[in-house]
Amino acid sequence: MKKTISLLMALVFLLSLAACGGSGGGSGGNNEILGLYNCSVIDLGMGAEWVSAGEGVSLELKSGGNAVFKSDDENVEYKWTVKGTELTLNASGLIEFKGEVRKDIIILDLLGMKYWLLKPGAVVPTDMPEVKEFSWGDDDNMGDGEGILTQIPVPSTWYGTISITNAFGEYSNVETDIWAFIDESDGQTYFEVYETPNPGDEDDAILSMWIEVFGGTIMPEIGDDDAWIFDQYLDSSDEWDFTTTLFEGALNIYYYYESEDGESGADLEFVLYMEDAA
């Protein structure tokens, strides 16, 4: 889970690296708000109804309008201001995050994720969501009660199409049937897409990567030369492109593919539905 939070926070850290040495902001007379807030719950949003424990995440508001947001071993510095019950974190004017201030509680919105941060000893608010753990064997967790799949089971088999559009070079515009498989190997979960429903050793995957599954969301875990699409390896910068969430029972993945020499490329759209989904 911590690795996933780090993945989701990667963009935050990237956009905020320039915060060091920034100016502006100030605590004014807001001394009561100063102090350390530890994260109890993170609502990841992304349409996936997944709520995680916020271990290793904290926000410290210091005098002079300085703030430090910590996630595992990553520290990001901000300037903070408060107007009424609204907290603003600012990184040298490059990026701004908002939060709601309550007594000894801050609800911070970072890229659509809500961080519930509490001072030690704070009264737990009644509207704070509970951490959810899903049991893949519980059919009640798999749908929305109206026949639409909302959770991704492991293992599972999927079918659908890949549409290739705006193609140039060696590629042509085409739509092809595909099958995808989510399963485990050596304690890790993988996602692979083929042009055949029963791939053998002689069949190469169109797309292959390690993933984590959280509710209805797939989060890629791309290392060195362990993930590929067509004949090209992917790297960690591609993880955001392949992060996908179930929408109305379908997995939709969009990716712009370009060969290493830049001579060929196309827009790719994967649309997948789980076999025998209720």
Residue range 58-112, pLDDT digits in tens:
999 999 999 998 876 678 889 999 999 999 998 766 678 899 999 999 999 876 7
In the three-class reduction of DSSP (H, G, I as helix; E, B as strand; rest coil), residue 202 is classed as: coil
Overall average pLDDT of the 227-244 stretch:
88
Residue 139 confidence (pLDDT): 43
Count of Cβ atoms closer than 10 Å to residue 247 Cβ: 12
CATH placement of domain 139-274: 2.40.160
CATH 2.40.128, domain 2-118, yes or no: yes
Report the distance separating Cα 7 and Cα 241, nearest Å.
12
- Count CA within 13 A, CB hemisphere, residue 228: 12
For residue 211, pLDDT beyond 70: yes
Q: Tell me, what's the pLDDT at 159?
A: 95
- The residue-averaged pLDDT of 140-164 equals 75
What 3-state DSSP class applies to 268? strand
Mean pLDDT of 194-203: 90
Three-state DSSP state, 70 = strand
Max intra-chain CA distance, the chain = 70
277: pLDDT strictly greater than 60: no
For residue 146, the 8-state DSSP code is S
Residue 8 has pLDDT above 70, yes or no: no
Q: Which of 77, 79, 59, 63 is nearest to 27 (CA)?
A: 63
Q: What is the pTM of this model?
A: 0.53
Angle at the Cα of 130 (from 128 to 131), degrees rounded to 5?
Answer: 130
DSSP label at residue 102: E
Q: For 104-139, how does the pLDDT look when each residue is reduced to its tens digit (9 = 90+)?
A: 999 998 767 788 999 999 999 999 887 765 443 444
Give dist(CA 233, CA 208) in Å, integer. Answer: 10
Which stretch of DSSP H or E encloses residue 67? strand 66-71
In the block, residue with structure tokens 């490059």: 94
User: Regarding predicted confidence, which is higher, 217 or 166?
Assistant: 166
Sketch the domain layout of the chain as residue ranges: 2-118, 139-274
Cβ pair 205, 179 in contact under 8 A:
no
pLDDT band, very low/low/confident/very high, at 30 (cuts 50, 70, 90)? low
Which residue, chain included where needed, has tokens 């196309």? 266
Mean per-residue pLDDT, 185-209: 93
Question: What's the pLDDT at 53?
Answer: 62
Q: Is the pLDDT of residue 227 over 50?
A: yes
Specify the residue for token string 């595992």.
72
Helix, coil or strand: residue 251: strand
When the pLDDT of each residue in the chain is averaged and rounded to a whole number, the result is 80
| Whether the predicted pLDDT of 188 surpasses 90 | yes
Q: What 3-state class would DSSP assign to 31? A: helix
Nearest to 149 by CA among 29, 276, 36, 262: 276
What is the C-alpha to C-alpha distance for residues 203 and 250, in angstroms, rounded to an integer?
25
